[in-house]
């Protein structure tokens, strides 16, 4: 409470004290924030990856705070160098029953890989996840679907490393293992199932759009882009850029505006999966011109072809092996892969960590190629 004389004087001599106070407070706050930024650094500073000529907007900005934060799953990748086979060692295919893949490994390397797969895919359940609760004498049986699926996934991993080197190892040797997708989970995150139609009251084109779904990246764009382009070998393309062309939308080889929207849905998905924007692959002055794209465009194109093969040759054919709870909730379809299943929001899975170095058994569909003992010793010395 102020004294009465002050209130009387103030009422007779009004003065605006709030405006100056607000101004002084704002200036003081700005000075304080500037001082903190100088002292501790800009928390939202960005760094840009230039993907084309300057002045064209072809840069991919990333928050430096994000760049400094490694993928937490990197810490779960462990070193486990292979045992260099000695001449005359007995092979797993001769020791154990029903070894349909990896039979040409030595006993030590076979069990080394089996232990690693358990850690990568079923760390809580252990060997029983694929082999059941019986003793070692039952391990040759194919009673559980998990073992049948795991066998096919080994073949898929080998095929990826061997046949898709241009995508997987575009910049350096990286490779893939079971951990690339599974990350210690029985079922990898970011798999997908068919969800269309999303509008039950309509048929055709109207039934696959105008619903914000995870598959459409929470937009009203078509929700069947992954199904069309990563499973059904749809041709990615947009409508003709010229007007009054002699084309008919009824021609299946003519891209329509529907195809353009579906393409945009896929591109949104790819951007979010890799944590990049459009100019990571495209030239901003001519998105449509394949002659002006960046090198990453070719890498991504190979990735799309790789995912198509993964889904059609390996994942979808396993549908009858899965129990009902592992199938899609709407169409009871098999789980499928896409870009984010491996990338998890990074330009390279596990930020480009070389995960295949210790696992030559997964690098080829043929007999593994192990490093010579002398080369292995030299590599060890170089890393120290």
39 membership: H or E segment, kind and range: helix 18-40
Domain residue ranges of the chain, discontinuous segments joined by +: 92-187+358-383, 191-343
Q: Residue 281 annotated as binding?
A: yes
Amino acid 2: pLDDT: 72
Q: Which two tokens stand for residue 234?
A: 């749809």
Q: Residue 36 annotated as binding?
A: no
Convert 267-302 into a string of H (helix), E (strand) and C (coil): HHHHHHHHCCCHHHCCCCCCCCCHHHCCHHHHHHHH
Domains 92-187+358-383 and 191-343 share a fold: yes
| pLDDT one-digit tens code per residue, 20-34 | 777 878 888 888 877
Angle among Cα 80, 85, 90 to the nearest 5 degrees reads 115
Amino acid 382: pLDDT: 54
Q: Residue 130 annotated as binding?
A: yes
Interatomic CA distance for residues 66 and 290, integer angstroms: 31
Amino acid 63: pLDDT: 63
Amino acid 371: pLDDT: 86
Q: Residue 127 annotated as binding?
A: yes
191-343, what's its fold?
A: Photosynthetic Reaction Center, subunit C; domain 2 (1.10.468)
Q: Residue 267 annotated as binding?
A: yes
- In terms of Cα–Cα distance, which of 78, 91, 79, 80 is closest to 367? 91
Q: Residue 282 annotated as binding?
A: yes
So what's the architecture of 92-187+358-383 in CATH? Orthogonal Bundle (1.10)
154 membership: H or E segment, kind and range: helix 145-163
How far, CA to CA in Å, does 369 sit from each of 101, 102, 206, 358? 16, 13, 53, 11
Is there a cis peptide before residue 197, judged by omega within 30 degrees of 0? yes
Amino acid 250: pLDDT: 81
Q: Residue 58 annotated as binding?
A: no
Amino acid 380: pLDDT: 53
Q: Residue 306 annotated as binding?
A: no
Burial status of residue 72 (CB atoms within 10 A of its CB: 0-12, 13-18, 19 or more): exposed
Q: Which residues does the chain have with pLDDT short of 50?
A: none
Q: Residue 202 annotated as binding?
A: no
Q: Residue 339 annotated as binding?
A: yes
DSSP 170: S
């Amino acid at each position: 409470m102020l004294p009465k004389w002050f209130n009387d004087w103030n009422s007779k001599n009004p003065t605006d004290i709030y405006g100056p106070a607000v101004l002084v407070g704002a200036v003081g706050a700005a000075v304080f924030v500037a001082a903190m930024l100088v002292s501790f650094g800009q928390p939202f500073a960005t760094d840009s990856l230039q993907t084309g000529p300057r002045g064209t907007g072809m840069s991919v900005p990333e928050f430096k705070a994000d760049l400094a934060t490694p993928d937490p799953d990197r810490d779960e990748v462990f070193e486990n160098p292979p045992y260099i086979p000695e001449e005359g060692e007995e092979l797993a295919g001769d020791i154990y029953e029903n070894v349909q893949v990896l039979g040409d490994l030595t006993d030590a390397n076979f069990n080394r890989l089996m232990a690693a797969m358990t850690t990568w895919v079923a760390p809580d359940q252990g060997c029983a996840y694929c082999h059941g609760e019986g003793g070692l004498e039952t391990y040759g049986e194919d009673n559980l679907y998990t073992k049948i699926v795991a066998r096919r996934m080994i073949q898929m991993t080998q095929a990826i490393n061997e046949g898709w080197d241009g995508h997987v190892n575009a910049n350096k040797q990286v490779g893939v293992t079971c951990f690339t997708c599974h990350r210690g989970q029985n079922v990898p995150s970011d798999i997908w199932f068919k969800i269309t139609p999303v509008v039950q009251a309509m048929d055709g084109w109207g039934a696959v759009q105008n619903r914000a779904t995870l598959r459409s990246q929470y937009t009203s764009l078509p929700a069947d882009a992954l199904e069309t382009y990563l499973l059904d070998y749809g041709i990615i393309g947009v409508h003709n850029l010229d007007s009054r062309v002699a084309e008919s939308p009824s021609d299946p080889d003519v891209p329509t505006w529907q195809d353009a929207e579906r393409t945009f849905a896929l591109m949104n998905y790819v951007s979010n999966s890799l944590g990049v924007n459009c100019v990571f692959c495209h030239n901003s002055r001519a998105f449509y011109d394949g002659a002006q794209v960046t090198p990453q465009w070719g890498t991504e194109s190979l990735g799309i072809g790789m995912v198509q093969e993964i889904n059609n040759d390996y994942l979808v054919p396993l549908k009858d092996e899965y129990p009902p709870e592992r199938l899609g909730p709407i169409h009871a379809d098999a789980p499928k892969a896409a870009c984010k299943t491996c990338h998890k929001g990074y330009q390279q899975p596990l930020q480009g960590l070389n995960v295949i170095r210790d696992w030559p058994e997964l690098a080829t569909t043929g007999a593994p190629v192990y490093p010579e003992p002398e080369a292995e010793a030299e590599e060890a010395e170089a890393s120290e």
